[in-house]
Amino acid sequence: MKLHTTICTALLLASHFCLAQTYKLKGNVKGLSVDSLLILKFKGDKVEGAKVKVSKQKFYYEDAITEPYFIQILKLKNGSTETTGKLADILVEPGTIQITGTADQYDSIKVKGSTADLVLKNYLQEDKALLARWDKLKESYDVYVANGDTASRKKVGKELNAITLKERVPLLKAYVAKYRRQIVGALIPNFCTLKEVLKKEDYLEMYNSLSPKMQQTGYGQSVFNNSK
Residue 136 and residue 104 in one domain: no
Per-residue model confidence as pLDDT tens for the chain (228 residues)? 433 433 333 333 333 333 448 999 999 999 999 999 999 999 878 999 999 999 999 999 999 998 899 999 999 999 999 999 999 999 999 999 999 999 999 999 999 999 999 999 999 999 999 999 999 999 999 999 999 999 999 999 999 999 999 999 999 999 999 999 999 999 999 999 999 999 999 999 999 999 999 999 999 999 999 999
Among 113, 145, 163, give the residue marking a domain's end.
113
Among 113, 147, 163, give the residue marking a domain's end.
113
Q: How far apart are CA 45 and CA 194, in angstroms?
A: 20
Answer yes or no: is 102 within a domain: yes
Write down the pLDDT at residue 21: 86
Distances (CA, A) of 110 to 26, 28, 100, 126, 129: 12, 10, 5, 18, 21
Write down the pLDDT at residue 45: 80
Query: Structurally, how many domains does the chain consist of?
Result: 2
Answer yes or no: is 14 within a domain: no
Please report, for the domain that includes residue 27, its CATH number.
Answer: 2.60.40
Write down the pLDDT at residue 150: 97
Residue-wise over 159-170: b if at least 16 C-beta within 10 A, else e? ebeebbeebbbe
Residue 95 and residue 123 in one domain: no
Q: How far apart are CA 44 and CA 93, in angstroms?
A: 15
Among 113, 137, 166, give the residue marking a domain's end.
113
Residue 102 and residue 130 in one domain: no
Residue 122 and residue 220 in one domain: yes
Residue 129 and residue 178 in one domain: yes
Residue 179 and residue 219 in one domain: yes
Residue 122 and residue 221 in one domain: yes
Q: How far apart are CA 91 and CA 111, in angstroms?
A: 10
Write down the pLDDT at residue 3: 37
Answer yes or no: is 3 within a domain: no
Query: Could you tell me how far CA 142 lies from the centroid of its own chain?
Result: 32
Please provide the DSSP assignment of the chain as one string. -HHHHHHHHHHHHHHHHHHHTEEEEEEEEET---SEEEEEEEETTEEEEEEEEEETTEEEEEEE-SS-EEEEEEEE-TTSS-EEEEEEEEEE-SEEEEEEEETT-GGG-EEES-HHHHHHHHHHHHHHHHHHHHHHHHHHHHHHHHHT-HHHHHHHHHHHHHIIIIIIHHHHHHHHHHTTTSHHHHHHHHH-S-TTT--HHHHHHHHHHS-HHHHTSHHHHHHHHTT-
Closest CA to 51 of 31, 30, 94, 80: 80
Residue 82 and residue 126 in one domain: no
Could you tell me the residue range of the domain that residue 65 belongs to? 23-113
Answer yes or no: is 27 within a domain: yes
Answer yes or no: is 76 within a domain: yes
Answer yes or no: is 13 within a domain: no
Write down the pLDDT at residue 32: 97
Closest CA to 93 of 125, 120, 73: 120
Write down the pLDDT at residue 43: 87
Closest CA to 73 of 48, 53, 90: 90
